Structure 1
Amino acid sequence: MKKIYIRLLLWLFVVSAGMVSCIHDDTTGFVNEIPELSIVKVKGEGVNEEGKKAYAEFMMPVHFEAEVNHSENEVVYEWKVGYVNEWKDGKPVMDSLYLVSEKPVLEHSFNRVGEFLVRLRVSDGFSSAFYYMMVEIKAGMERGLLVLSSDDAGKGRLSFCSVLEDANELLKAKKEDFDWEVWSRINPDYELVDALDMSLMDFGKYKNSVFVISKFNRCVYELEPNTLLVLRKIDLTLLVSELNIQPVALSPCRDELVVLSENGIVVGSQLTSNGLMSDAWGAKMKGTKMYQAVIWNDNDKVTQSMPVVAEDEKLVCYTNLLGKASLDSGTDFEGRRIVNFLIVGNTNLKKSLLVVSQSKNDPGKVWVTNYVSGIEALWNMEVIFGHESGEEKWSDKSYELSAPLTLTEESDMLYNTKYSNSIFYNSGNSIYRWRHGSDISEVELVTSVPGEITCMAQSPDEEYLYVGTYDPAATGLKGSVYIYKTENLQLVNSFVGVADKPLKLFYKDTK
C-alpha cells in the first residue's frame, strides 16, 4: 500500500512539472497583461491640487470622484470616513472608520465641524489600492482676523475675515472678504451694547472659545469657537451683586475668567457649566488697567495666561496656585504713576515683567522697572516682585526726558522677538518702536497711519502687526485694519471701512 502512495505522488509531481513547463515555454503570441490597479487622484470641489486636502461646509454635500487605473474587470469602491479627535506625533487619533458609500462618486454631508480622514479602497478581484485624504469641515469662523468694534451710540459689531489655512492668507485678502455683520447675522436675539473687550480662552475645557463683555448688560457672552454663535450669557451680577459690576476689560487665567469693572473692582472665578459662580478673590484686587500676560506658549500651542492689574502706584498679579490669591508690588512705585506694562523675554524660561512709571510731581522723570524672573517664578508668583523673594531680582532705572513721554495708559504694548527684541506701541496715529534694554528716550517713531490707532495685535508668527484705526470724519463704517511687516513697518495690506471704532482685534484659530 505504501508503494502505491509513493508512485501516485511521483506521478502527480511529474504532471505538475509538465504543466509548469508549458506555462513558461518560449512560444510567442498575444498575451493579456493586467494593469496594476491604482488610484491616481481624488478630485472635486474644495479639493486642493495635490488631492490630499479638501475643505467643505458643515452639512453641505461634498462631491468627490476618484481617478482610477484598472483593467476591464469590475471595480468595487469603498469610501470610509473617521472623525479626528486629536493629533499626536503628527498622526490623527480617531474613532474607527465607518462606511459611507460604495459608489464610484462620493456624495456625503458631514454632520460635524472639524477634521475627517477619508479612506478610499478600490479592488478588482485581483488586487486592492488605497487612498487617504483629509477633509476639514468648516462652519466659516474657524480661523481668521476677528475685530470687535462699537459705533457712537455704543452698539457693538463683530467683523471677521476668514482664511482657510493660515494667517498669511490675510496678506492677499480684500475688503470684500470681511464679513462685518457677524454678530447681527449669527446672534440676532442678543443685542450687543457697550462691548468694550473680548478675549480668547487659551487653556482647558473652553479653549478657543471667544468671550465678549457687555458693560450695559453687565454680562459675558461665550461664543462657540467655530461659528461665533452665542452659547450662553453669563450674568456678572450674580458674582458680587452689591458691587455693581460693570465690566470694561477681561482676561483668561488658566481655566478662569477675570473681569475688571468700571469702578475698579476685579472679579472672576473658574469657568464652569453654570458660569462664573464664585467671588472668592474678586474683592481683593482693584485697578484701572488690566493686561493679559502670556507667561507660557510652547510649540504645541499650549498657552498660559494671567492677569496683571495696575492701580495708580501698585501692580497686582493674580495666581490661583500655592493657595495664594494675589501678590502685589508693595511700595515699589510709591510716588509714581504706573503708565504701562507687559511681559518680555525671548523664551519661556526667561521672562520678565517690564513696567514704565512716571513721577506724579515731575512728568519728565520716568522709570523703567524690570522684574527679572524665570518661568518658575511666573508660575507661582513667588519671586516676580523683588520684595517677595528677599533677593534683588529686579532693576529700576530712572530717566530725565526732554520731550513728553509718548507712551500712555491707553497704548497697546507688544513685545516682538523676531527683530532685535522690539517693543511696539501706539499713541495717536503713530506706531513707535523701542528696543528692549535701550534708553526709553531712544524710542523711534516708525510710521503713522490714517486716523487714530485704537488697538493693535501681532500675527501668530510675529511677522506682522494688525492695526485697528478709527476716522470719525469718514462716511459709512469708520473703522479700518492695516497690516504692517514688523521687520520694517512696511504696509502690506489694508481693509478700509470694515468696522466701527475698533476696540480689540486678534487672529483666532481653532486648531
Structure 2
Amino acid sequence: MKERMRYIIIGLMAWLLLYGCIKDESSGFRTEGSPITITTEDSVYYQDFGTSVLIDPEVTQSQPDLPLAYEWKFIATDGGALSDSLRLIGTDKVLDYKFPRSGIFRVRLRVENQYGSSFKFFQVHVQAPFEQGILVLSNDQSDVGRFSFLRLKEENEVLSKKESDFNLNAFKQSNPGVTLHGLRDAIISYISQVSQSETGTGLVVSSETDQVLYCLNAQNFLIENQVDVRAYCPEMYPTTLFGSDHSGISEVLFASNDAVGNPEDIGVFEVRGFIARPRPAAYNKFDKAILGIMVIEGWSILNYVACLIDNTHSEVHSMENGSVGKWNSGDRFAGEYIVNASFLGTSGCMVFITQDKNDPSKIRIHKTIDDQLEFESGIYEYTLAKEMTLTHECQMCSNDKYKHIYYYKDNKLYRWVYMANEPKLPEEPDFEFVDENDEITCIACSPNEEHIYVCVYNPNATTELKGRLLILNADTLEVEKEYKGISDKALKVMWKVSV
C-alpha cells in the first residue's frame, strides 16, 4: 500500500511540474543580471480566421545593449486540434501569425538574455469570419470569381451596416493561393464527409470553367476538399447545385453544361468518396434547372427540392433528397413552351408559366398541390395584351409572407400576385432604375421575407467594382439600403446561414 501511494505521489508531482512549465509566468533570472520587462496594451486578442494576429510587445531590460532572443509558442485551449502540446510559431520580437483554425489559443512569449528569461502570456480568439450573413457570388469580365460577404448577427442588421463592412475578398482571405474561375453556384450541404453515422455541413461551390466542385468549410470558407470533374466526366461542366439536405444522403447533384455552354445532364458528386459521375439512368437534356427549399411540417427538416425544365419534350422532372426523375409532368405541358417556374415558399409546391407553341400570345398558369408534380385541376389561361415581361433566363423569387413572386428583366423589377383570382403577369414594372445601363443580375428574399436582395451591375459605375446590392422592402419595394461597389457581376446572392 505504501509503495502504491509513493507512485501516486511521484506521478502527481510530475504532472504538476509539466503543467507549471506551461502556466508559469515568472521570470527565470538566476542573478540580478539584467531583468527583462514585457508590456503590451492588451493580453486578449480577437481576430478573424485567415487574417494575421499581430502582437508587438514593448521589451525593456536594465542593461539595454544586451542581445535578446524571442520565442513565441501556442497551445489550443478549446479542446480541439493542437491542444496536445506547445508549438513554436515565431522567433522575432513581433508576432505576425495566421492560426491554422478558428478557436481559442494561449500564446506564450519567452524573451531571454544571457542572464535569464521572462514570460508573457496572451489569449487569442480566432473567430469564424463568415458564420452568418449575406454572401454575393460574382465574376469579373475575365470570369474570375469573387466572394463578397457581409457578416450579420441578425437579418435586419443589414440596414445599419456600411460598404466598408463588406469583405470583398472572403474566398481569397482563407485561400490566398487559389483563384476561382467561372463561378456558377454555391449551396450549403448538410452532410458529413467522414462517416454514414455523422452529420456535418459545408459550402459546395461549382466552377464551370475549371470543371471543379469545391467543398469549403461553411464558417471560414477554407477549401477542405475538391473534385476535378474532368477526371470522371470530361464532358460535364458543373453549374447549378441541388443539395444534399438533412436527409443524410451523401450526394450532391449538379446540373452541367457541355463544352459550348448548352445544358448537358445531371451529375452526382459523392461527398464522402470525393468522386463525380453521371446519373446511371438516361434523362432527357434540360434547358433550365430550378432549386427550392421545402420544410417538412412538424419536423423542422430542411429538404432541397428542384425541377428540370425540358422544353424539347415539353416535360418537367422533379427531384427531392437526391432522387432525380422520380416524378415528371407526363403530357401536362404538351404543345406548350415552359417560360419559367418558381417554388412557392417552403411548401415544395410550384407554379409554371407557359406559352402555347403555336400561339405565343396564349399564356397558361399551372400550379401544383405538392412537390410530386400533382397539379391543380384547373389551368388559368389568358391572352397577352403587351409584350411578355417574364423571360426564361431570369430568376423568380417567391415571398410566402406577402404571396408575391418577384422577377426581373434588364433594369426592371416585377411583382406578380400569383394568388389573385386572375393571376396575370404584370405588364408594367413595380420598380425601375433610371439608368438604362443598370442591369439586375440576381435576386433573393431574406429569410424573414421582409426584404428583397437585388444585385445590380453597371459597367459605367464610378466604383472600382461595378456591382452593388440593394435592400428593398418586400411590401413597398422602397430602397431601404444600398451597398455600392461590393461585387463584380453577381450571379447569386444568398443568406448564408449559421451552421
TM-score normalised by structure 1 residue count: 0.67
The answer to whether the aligner puts 1:435 opposite 2:417 as a matched pair is yes
Find 1:145's aligned residue among 115, 118, 134: 134
1:400: Cα distance to partner? 0.3
The answer to whether the aligner puts 1:414 opposite 2:415 as a matched pair is no
Q: Distance in 2 between matches of 1:200 and 1:226?
A: 11
The secondary structure found in structure 1 opposite 2:387 is coil
Contact 1:285 1:316 in 2 (8 A): no
Question: Where does residue 507 of structure 1 map in the other structure?
Answer: 495
Question: Where does residue 185 of structure 2 map in the other structure?
Answer: 197
Which letter maps to 2:330? G
1:315: Cα distance to partner? 0.8
Question: Where does residue 329 of structure 2 map in the other structure?
Answer: 329
Question: Where does residue 30 of structure 1 map in the other structure?
Answer: none
Report the CA distance shift for 1:170/1:394 in structure 2 as closer, same or farther (over 3 A).
Answer: same
The answer to whether the aligner puts 1:472 opposite 2:459 as a matched pair is yes
Q: Distance in 2 between matches of 1:300 and 1:372?
A: 20
Report the CA distance shift for 1:319/1:418 in structure 2 as closer, same or farther (over 3 A).
Answer: closer
Question: Where does residue 273 of structure 1 map in the other structure?
Answer: 272
Find 2:429's aligned residue among 436, 440, 445: 445
Q: Distance in 2 between matches of 1:436 and 1:226?
A: 37
1:398: Cα distance to partner? 1.4
Which letter maps to 1:454? T
Aligned residues: 380
The secondary structure found in structure 1 opposite 2:215 is strand
1:194: Cα distance to partner? 1.3
Q: Distance in 2 between matches of 1:204 and 1:297?
A: 21
1:437: Cα distance to partner? 2.3
- Structure 1: runs of 5 or more not aligned: 1-44, 48-53, 62-80, 85-109, 116-134, 387-392
1:280: Cα distance to partner? 3.8
Which letter maps to 2:341? F
- Structure 2: runs of 5 or more not aligned: 1-41, 55-76, 81-98, 105-123, 194-198
Q: Deviations over 1:428-483 (max 9, x none)?
A: 11111111222343525221235110001111111111111110222421111000
Question: Where does residue 245 of structure 1 map in the other structure?
Answer: 236
Contact 2:315 2:333 in 1 (8 A): yes
Find 1:262's aligned residue among 254, 257, 262: 257
Alignment of 1:19-34 (within 5 A): none
The secondary structure found in structure 2 opposite 1:169 is helix
Contact 2:292 2:343 in 1 (8 A): yes
Q: Distance in 2 between matches of 1:300 and 1:471?
A: 44
Q: Deviations over 1:20-78 (max 9, x none)?
A: xxxxxxxxxxxxxxxxxxxxxxxxx9x9xxxxxx98756979xxxxxxxxxxxxxxxxx
Report the CA distance shift for 1:203/1:363 in structure 2 as closer, same or farther (over 3 A).
Answer: farther
Find 2:447's aligned residue among 453, 460, 466: 460
Contact 2:397 2:405 in 1 (8 A): yes
The secondary structure found in structure 2 opposite 1:265 is strand
Contact 1:149 1:504 in 2 (8 A): yes
Question: Where does residue 223 of structure 1 map in the other structure?
Answer: 216
The secondary structure found in structure 1 opposite 2:178 is coil
Find 2:161's aligned residue among 168, 173, 193: 173
The secondary structure found in structure 2 opposite 1:197 is strand
Report the CA distance shift for 1:500/1:297 in structure 2 as closer, same or farther (over 3 A).
Answer: farther
The secondary structure found in structure 2 opposite 1:441 is coil
Contact 2:136 2:487 in 1 (8 A): yes
Q: Distance in 1 between matches of 2:254 and 2:359?
A: 33
Report the CA distance shift for 1:509/1:319 in structure 2 as closer, same or farther (over 3 A).
Answer: closer
The secondary structure found in structure 1 opposite 2:424 is helix
Contact 1:480 1:497 in 2 (8 A): yes
Contact 2:256 2:267 in 1 (8 A): no
1:371: Cα distance to partner? 1.7
The answer to whether the aligner puts 1:235 opposite 2:217 as a matched pair is no
Which letter maps to 1:360? K
The secondary structure found in structure 1 opposite 2:143 is coil
Which letter maps to 1:434? W
Question: Where does residue 129 of structure 1 map in the other structure?
Answer: none
The answer to whether the aligner puts 1:307 opposite 2:306 as a matched pair is yes
Report the CA distance shift for 1:458/1:299 in structure 2 as closer, same or farther (over 3 A).
Answer: farther
Question: Where does residue 369 of structure 1 map in the other structure?
Answer: 366
1:307: Cα distance to partner? 2.2
Q: Deviations over 1:315-374 (max 9, x none)?
A: 1112468x88532212211222111112215x74xx52211111223221111001212x
Question: Where does residue 64 of structure 2 map in the other structure?
Answer: none
Contact 2:317 2:324 in 1 (8 A): no
Which letter maps to 1:155? V
Find 2:380's aligned residue among 365, 389, 397: 397
Q: Distance in 1 between matches of 2:446 and 2:210?
A: 32
Report the CA distance shift for 1:333/1:83 in structure 2 as closer, same or farther (over 3 A).
Answer: farther
Contact 2:317 2:325 in 1 (8 A): no
The secondary structure found in structure 1 opposite 2:360 is coil
Which letter maps to 2:240? A
Identical counterparts, % of pairs:
27
Contact 1:150 1:195 in 2 (8 A): yes
Report the CA distance shift for 1:292/1:281 in structure 2 as closer, same or farther (over 3 A).
Answer: farther
Higher Cα Rg, which structure: 1
Question: Where does residue 98 of structure 1 map in the other structure?
Answer: none
Find 2:176's aligned residue among 183, 188, 196: 188
Q: Distance in 1 between matches of 2:308 and 2:483?
A: 33
